[in-house]
Amino acid sequence: MLNYAKLIRGLFIGAVASFVIGCNSIEQAGSVESMAAADAAKAADKANGETLFAKNCSSCHNGRVSKAPPITLLQIMSSASILNSLEHGVMEAQSAHLSRDQKKAIVSYLTGDAGDRQHPPAKQCEGSALAFDHSAQPDAQTWGVDLGNSRYYDDSITDINAGNITQLELKWAFVFPDAIRARSQPSTAAGAVFVGSQDGTVYSLDQKTGCVRWAFKTIAEVRTGIIVAPWGEDNASLTYFGDLIGNVYAVNTFTGQLVWRDRPDDHPSLTLTATPVLHNNRLIVPLSALEVTEAADPTYACCTFRGGVAVYDAQQGEKLWTGYTIEETPAEVSKNAVGTPIIAPSGAPVWGAPSIDVDRGLIYVGTGENYSSPAGATSDAIIALNINDGRIAWVQQMTEGDAWNMGCEAEDKSNCPPENGPDYDFGAATILARHSNGKQYLLAGQKSGDVFALDPDDMGRIVWQKKLGRGGIQGGVHFGMTVAGDTLYVPMSDFDGGPRWPGVAKPGMYGLDFASGDVHWFTPAEDVCDGREFCQPGLSAAASAIPGAVVGGAMDGHLRAYEQNTGEIIWDFDSVKEYSSLSGAKARGGSFGGASGPVFKGSMMYVNSGYGIYFHMPGNVLLAFGLAAEAP
């Protein structure tokens, strides 16, 4: 059986090892003999950890116990967060009979690291830097700034524009300990920056200096963006986010104290990657899962997860309803070649943040593929859900017959559906935008490399479709487009997908008129990697628009601003370097990826660098840029 998480880690070990050594000041062995001894010790710990895991953990973490994350999810968690859960967290009672060395051995087996490295403590705020500014309300309660997900920061939010972006300079850098990726999009409110990390810590940082006002420890990595609720005269506000193993949290915005926590679905492979939306005292939480990876095991009964959105009373944490992208309950439909049940329908996860149509009373989401055969009508689709109860109002499917899981990449392909892909998710969020012609359009970008405009007044009828990229498993439109005025900006990844996705890659940034689909300009992503390992030229991360420009990060580690009318690159920052934080700890930038795009507030821009997963350059830094006091 192919264990995909282990494969990725094995192929990535060189880059990650050098990154960890450089960023965490681990001393390298002084000789070949000492390095060999260290390797032998690690191998012994791993073997011991595997035995301990099998004896003490596997009966629950085998993907078949409700709410217990399967091993493939544990293997992409940070070592520090797993060790913390064993020593002080949700698994403390279950692991009480194990010694600390035994716990570290289990962690080392799962992640390749014992999770007990010491780091300089983060710089804590003092004096006036501790004070929250209650006059500075949050600018948004969504990932995409407005309910339509435009990702446009207008001049009421930011002072940065095409005319002065060249004056940006790095003001401070914040290091995420025990991290090789930074995927949680920051939010700003009350003079603070709120951001999550791979080790499961959510921080409230002073916007001006990056010192820590408070830190909250979750159970697992936080990949979602952070949503801050506005407050009234009582200054009562909650901040919302989700973690890798499916928990959604509400904490006090000004103290970081937990107010409520819930897991919206019992499926063991549930994960929360897309950012929730706060609207009308309802928290709308998108649901996705990594069961697609579990299916690499031919003895795993694939598959039972159904994507959707769960809606909560935002204040009380009471789950009000779940709207599923697949209405039928999965049931056994046949058996695979080794006699394991095949369960369907399954899949259609929601990877992107919903857009909200207040006038029509709808929630728009894009879906991924089916995990098992037969493929249904709601995978690789845009779905409109009723905002009051989650019922499906309409479906517009873009790719029929897409059923795929990691069994298709395993040596034993017993769990691979006969459709075998092509795995053309809608990973990027939908955008609801109004054109100057007076009409609204629902815009969607797919991993196939296609971009669509739908008519929300006509049951999602396709107004136009444009194929801009080659597409692939990490190709096409990956994590997020943006709109400003009448222009749709499309970052194109087109990461090399191998022989299954032939054709010419077209990575870069596009500018389109979103009423017609006409391409105004295309700025290709030139290959400037110059030998950097795990470096590619495509644009995977979500982009953000400001007056006169669009800003997008690339997998080569460069953050670039493109002029709105021509696509000319007017600013370029190479993030792949070492940074010193306030605490003295070292951080390093890497690829830009995930649904974490640049965030603007006043004269500042905040952006994460590091996408150390799936063959991309690792990094562990939040970069804070600000306009220079005077023009150069």
Preceding peptide of 211 cis, ω within 30°: no
Asked if residue 419 belongs to a domain, the reply is: no
Percent pLDDT > 90 in the chain is 74
Average pLDDT, the chain: 89
Preceding peptide of 422 cis, ω within 30°: yes
Residue 366 has pLDDT above 80, yes or no: yes
Asked if residue 81 belongs to a domain, the reply is: yes
Mean pLDDT of 562-589: 95
> Which pLDDT score is estimated for 86?
73
Asked if residue 50 belongs to a domain, the reply is: yes
CB atoms under 10 Å from CB of 316, counted, come to: 12
> Which pLDDT score is estimated for 56?
78
Spatial distance between the Cα atoms of 223 and 77, rounded to a whole number of angstroms: 11
Residue 445 has pLDDT above 80, yes or no: yes
Domain coverage including residue 39 = 27-111
Percent pLDDT > 70 in the chain is 85
Place of tokens 């399954």: 346
Residue 406 has pLDDT above 60, yes or no: yes
Residue 490 has pLDDT above 60, yes or no: yes
Asked if residue 175 belongs to a domain, the reply is: no
49 band by pLDDT with thresholds 50, 70 and 90: confident
Per residue in 227-258, pLDDT (tens digit) is: 999 999 999 999 999 999 999 999 999 999 99
Q: Name the β-bridge partners of 357.
A: 362
For residue 217, report the phi and psi dihedrals to the nearest 5 degrees: -100, 120
Asked if residue 52 belongs to a domain, the reply is: yes
Spatial distance between the Cα atoms of 368 and 365, rounded to a whole number of angstroms: 10
Pairing state of beta strands 192-196 and 544-546?
Answer: unpaired
Spatial distance between the Cα atoms of 498 and 472, rounded to a whole number of angstroms: 8
More confident residue, 472 or 115: 472
Residue 18 has pLDDT above 50, yes or no: no
> Which pLDDT score is estimated for 632?
34
Asked if residue 514 belongs to a domain, the reply is: no
Per residue in 595-625, pLDDT (tens digit) is: 999 999 999 999 999 998 878 999 999 999 9
Dig out the tokens for 455 from the structure.
Answer: 């008519």
Cα 42 from chain centroid (whole Å): 31
> Which pLDDT score is estimated for 482?
98
Longest dimension (CA), the chain: 72
Inter-residue contact 592 to 598 (CB < 8 Å): no
Residue 594 has pLDDT above 80, yes or no: yes
3-state helix/strand/coil string of 371-398? CCCCCCCCCCEEEEEECCCCCEEEEEEC
> Which pLDDT score is estimated for 284?
98
Asked if residue 332 belongs to a domain, the reply is: no
Mean pLDDT of 91-101: 76
Asked if residue 319 belongs to a domain, the reply is: no
Mean pLDDT of 40-44: 58
Q: How many domains does the chain have?
A: 1
Place of tokens 């962690």: 107
Mean pLDDT of 311-337: 97
363 band by pLDDT with thresholds 50, 70 and 90: very high
More confident residue, 100 or 354: 354
Spatial distance between the Cα atoms of 170 and 206, rounded to a whole number of angstroms: 15
